[in-house]
Structure formats: structure tokens, C-alpha cells
Amino acid sequence: MTRPRQRLLAASLATLLLTACGSDNGSSPITAENAAANNPAINEPPPSPAMHSGLDMAGIDTATAPGDDFEQYANGHWRQVTEIPADRSSTGVFYEVFKKAEKRTSDLIRKVADKENEPGSNARKIADFYQAWMDEDAIEAHGLTPLQPDLDAIAAVSDRQQLATLLGDGLRADVDPLNATDYNTSRPFGLFVTQALDDPSTHRAYLLQGGLGLPDRDYYLSDDADMVELRGKYQDYAAKLLATAGDANAADEATKIMALETSIAQVHANIVDSMDVEKANTVWARKDFGKKAPGLDWDSYFKAAGLDDQDSIDVWQVDAIRGIAGILGKADLGDIKAWLRFHALNRSAALLPKAFANLQFDFYGRTLQGTPEQRDRWKRAVAATNGALGDAVGQLYVERYFPPESKATIEQLVNNINGAFLDRVDQLLWMTAETRAEAKRKAAAVKVGVGYPDRWRDYSQLDIRPDDALGNALRAEHYEFEHQRDKLKRAPDRGEWWMTPQTVNAVNLPVQNAMNFPAAILEPPFFDPKADPAANYGAIGAVIGHEISHSFDNLGSAFDAEGRLRNWWTPEDEAQFDAAAQMLVEQFDGYEALPGLHVKGQQTLGENIADVSGLTIAYMAYHKSLGDQPAPEIDGLSGDQRFFLAFAQVWRGKVRDAALRQQVNTNAHAPGRFRAETVRNIDAWYAAYDVQPDQGLYLAPDERVHIW
């Protein structure tokens, strides 16, 4: 098949808002960043009219006709009266749920920090990590000392062999190989470890492109006036950061850093190409890297990285890996060292003295995201503790906020919606029996994780100290790398989680044929045990349907029931699927996020397919849950009206222009405003709101996209 294929980690539900949590303050990976009990049975009879709708009726813009702009109708008044917090680049439903999880997590961490805990215990590590992060006086007093070993190692490089050893020793793990908004994959390469694409029985190391401090290659190469301006400000930031560290030639070094990163950007794969898993399925023998990607001493690199025992490595972006190696072999060694020095400072700036941290926030927060104010330090400390000790904090979280009955209730809901998907497959007239059987086998085999993982991470060997904030973060980063690298010694675990329980998100994992639904997202308005089922199915039901559908979007459908990259489609079915997908590409290409800036339909295709298909099967599951009984009218709305309104209100948001521009350019998700308009592809929405051909969102029946 020639169409773009699966990212190893399918994009999560709310990349815009969740990325903002980690980038509003310019955080780097080393400084980053419940349901209620007694939930009712999912298949209960329809509620009485006394049950509340679960909707925000006050947020509706009654002056807008649903058929003209359903998102504006659902959320217009809310947007009119809502202000984006000064320390955020955006706000919306995901942020509101995140705030609850953040507050709960903070309370748990502070409670642990106030106690005397056994040395070496998870509780002691949590307390020490958080308290060190909060100790600004100690951070000021330490200055650059915690980073000095890294800076000295860079300064000591005198030849290409030493450079390769330094770079290999600094290789770190990426938990999402396509997180284009993580500007801190600033090392030339990143490592991702997961199941081999062609062999479900073994893990494989994947080498990824890196080396950039801006979000994406287009930030270096585009002639757009905003991009040109950002490049200038990025170079100014690099010069100021280096000058603050005492570099006498900081301005000249920044010019050379910008030139070096621009050359790296020129060989980078773009986002759409990086999603092409068939291109990513390029396995090189380790001994052949020197011939296939000359310029870097690969033997020294892999030895320093601890990968010299691997017979083969997957090269995710071939041209980029080859191109970056060539650049490292030809570029002036002094320029490379200045670039490495800048990024060592940049990655660590949030845990260096304020002069460094403020510069970083001014660029990555104010300039790149449009965020006026830095987040409170305790919020950043909570996010950092979650990032370094996520499972340890997660254990506390689920003990307090996610009882077993909540887990059982959501698991049943997932089963109901997966069952609706199987029913839907049987109804697809365009699909042949051969492909239908494979699709049903894959859906039936999916492994669903709800709330928290079956096995928790072991942090016993992670050294956390109460007075070494930056050292803690650096050691935690290396510990994660070792965890990922050690997986190469074991068979894949289909139950492995890629999110912590306190994360407000969800994810589909095609190479594991698995899904994770963390505890923190299982909260109102996504899921409310006291609300009308229409709202729950339109909100969390569509979220669950979305993740199920990722296994069958333009990317996930490349994998079979075991997570093996295999074409299980007949040519006829593939042609039908591609035609429908192209209609969706063109539909989203037509949406204008900012004047002259359109949504990228191909870049966001997988998420858009999952939205259409997820909403379709959630609607089916909702009606199946009603049995033969009609849904009651609540708040003056029918059951179908409430279902679609709940979906649109989940995607409500308000975003600063700078952050919106970054999302459109770098993200696999369309802005939430346009995701809410997915309803225009669902036939039942037209009947529910009496949408007429002369209204703005109307699509003729043959123009509506029906894939699953």
C-alpha cells in the first residue's frame, strides 16, 4: 500500500492542550511535566427526566443555528465569556479536567513531602524530587555547577571520534517518535524502543531524526513572515542564553548554530513522510551504518550508547539520518560544539538560575506560544515529578481517586463500544468478506487498559537527592533511557502503558494492538455517573470510539491483530478506503484556522478518521444501550441532540494565535473547533437538528464521509 502509514504511538486525544502543559514554559523532557466511585451499570434503562443532562446549557450560543456552525452553537457563549489564563496558551475542557488532576496530584505529592519517609522508598523519592525542584535558593546557589560535567565534556571534544562517543553517550529515549512539538529532541538522534514492525515476538531499537530547537523543519525553511520573525528571535535567544553562561562570542556562535540547524532541517523528513510506516520499516545491520550513513563514527556512537550488542537497528527517517550524519562529518567542529553547548543549557534552563529559566520561558512561552506569564512553580514542579516518577505518583493517585468499581464500569463501556464497532463492520457494504474477517479478528483481540497498568515501574535504582534538582532530572532522563534500552533484552509486553494514570489523555497502540485510558480522563464532562447516558456516550463514548478507530485509520490499519505490519486488505477494499479518506482530506483542507492558514488534511487524516468513526460507533452504542425504549427529553433536547452536543462541547477550546499556528504546522490533530464539526458526516445529526441544504455545514449524502 502506498498511502501514509502508522506512527508507532498513535496521536493522543488532546495534543494541543497537553502539549501546552509541557511547552508553555519552554520545558524540556528533563524538566517537564477518576472517575467517581459507585458508577451505575452502563446498560441501565433510560434515565428519568430528573437526571441532569451533563451538558453546559449556559455555554450555548442560541443565536447561531446548529446547521450553520455547530461548534459555535455548542460553545459560542462559553468562548465569549471565557478568558485564557495568563499562564496558558489555551484553555478548554481538557484543561479543566487537567486542573482537577493537577490539584489532586499536587495534594498527594505535598502530603508525601510533609511526612518522614523511608530512605529509598518511592514516597521519599517523590518528596525529594518535588522539594528539590521547589528550592529556588539552592538552584541559584548551585549555578551552572550541576551542568558543568556535561559542558566540560563538550569542551574537551577534539576530534570526530570523541564527538561520536559524546553523542552516543548522550542518546536519550523518545516516548513518542513523532511528537513534533517536543523541540527538545535537540540531540542529533533519538531512540525509540518497541515491538519490531515485522515480528511481534521481539523488540527493536528505532533511530529517529533530531537536532532542532524549533518545533519543526518548516520553522527554518518557510518564507512565511511569522516564521522568518521567529527564526530571528530564536537566534537572539540562543545568543542571550550563551552570553548568560559567559560565552564571549555568543552572538557569533548563535549565528553558526542557526546555520547548522537550518542545514539539519533541510534533510529532515516532514510530518506526513514521518507517518509513513512503510518508509520507517527500514532495518540496517549495525555494521553497515558507516557505509549507508557516512560522516559519523557509528561504531563509537553505538558503543557509547550501549547499543553495540544490537545486530540491527530500524532507521525511522532514512534520508534524515543519512543527512545528519553527513553534516556532523563535514561541519566545523567548533560550530558543532557551540550547538551542543547551547542545547545543554537549553534543555536544563528551567532548573538553572532564574536568568536562564526566564530567558527560556520568554522564548518558548511568550514568543512561541503567546503565553504572557510563567506557570506557578508548584505546578511546574508537579509536572516535573510526574514526568520523572510517573508510576510512583500514579500508584498514589489510583489508590485515592480510582476505586475498582470505576475500573470495571469503564471496561464495560469500552466493551460495549467495541461491540458496536464489530456490529458496524458487519454493516459495511463496501467491504469484502475477507477484509471484514480480518478487521473483526483485530477488534476482538485488542487489549484494553483502563485506569492504570497491571505492572508498575520500578524506581529503586533511580538516585533522587533532596538538594540536587537538575541532577535529579538528568538522572531521571537517563533512567528512562536505560529502561527503554533494557526492553531490547525482553519480549514485548502488550500490557505496557505509555501514559501515567494521572494523565488527562488516551492512546491507541497499534504495534501492541492495545489502548490505554488513564484514570484522570474518566471525569466529568467526559464521564459523569450521574449524567444522562447520551452525554456520556457523546463524550467518553466518542473518545473510546476514537481510540478503537485508530486501529483502523489510514495508519493503524496497516497492522494486524498481533501488531505486525501486514497488508490484510484486498485491493478493492483499499481503493474504497482511500477514496473515502481523500474526501476527508479535502474537507479539512477547506478549514481556515487563521487568515491564510488552513488545516492540513493529510497531516491530520488519521485523527479525523478516528473522530468520524469513533462518533459513528459511539452513536450506535448509545442507541443499543436504550434497548427498545425512547430516550427522554431533558433540558428541552432529545437524546440524539444531547449526544451530539456533548461531543461538540468536549472539543470546546480557546487558543492563542501563536499556539494555534504551531498546532496547525506541527500537529497530527486538527484544532478542536474543526473536530467538533465532524458531526456533519453523521446522517443522524441532520435529523436531530433539522439541518437544511442551505445551511453552512450541510453536506449532500454522497459528500458525507463514512469509513467505518
Domains and CATH numbers, the chain: 144-351 (1.10.1380.10)
| % of the chain at pLDDT higher than 70 | 91
Buried b (16+ CB within 10 A) or exposed e, 333-363: eeebbbbbbbbbbbbbbbbbbeebbebbbbb
The whole-number pLDDT of residue 347 equals: 93
189-196 and 199-209 strand pairing: antiparallel
The whole-number pLDDT of residue 325 equals: 98
Q: Are 377 and 416 in contact (CB under 8 A)?
A: no
Residues β-bridged to residue 92: 653
Residues β-bridged to residue 495: none
The angle at the Cα of 192, spanning 547 to 452, to the nearest 5 degrees, equals 45
Which pTM value belongs to this model? Answer: 0.86
Number of H helices, E strands in the chain: 31, 11
CA distance 16 to 333: 37
507-509 and 447-451 strand pairing: unpaired
Question: Which residues in the chain show pLDDT less than 70?
Answer: 1-51, 175-185
The whole-number pLDDT of residue 174 equals: 72
Q: Are 365 and 26 in contact (CB under 8 A)?
A: yes
Q: Are 419 and 623 in contact (CB under 8 A)?
A: no
For residue 424, give the nearest of 612, 554, 588, 572 by alpha carbon.
612
Q: Is the dihedral of CA 349, 135, 478, 518 positive or negative?
A: negative
Measured in residues, the chain has a length of: 708
Q: Residue 70, SS3? A: helix
Alpha-carbon separation of residue 333 from 162, 209, 299 (angstroms) = 11, 20, 19
The angle at the Cα of 49, spanning 46 to 55, to the nearest 5 degrees, equals 90
Q: Are 187 and 163 in contact (CB under 8 A)?
A: no
pLDDT, tens only, 618-628: 999 999 999 88
Residues 6+ apart with CB under 8 A from 346: 28, 184, 186, 213, 238, 241, 360
Reading the block at residue 379, the C-alpha cell is 505546578
Q: Count other Cβ atoms within 10 Å, centred on residue 152.
A: 9
Backbone angles phi, psi at 659, to 5 degrees: -70, -35
Which stretches within 510-589 are classed as H helix? 533-536, 542-550, 571-589
The whole-number pLDDT of residue 436 equals: 87
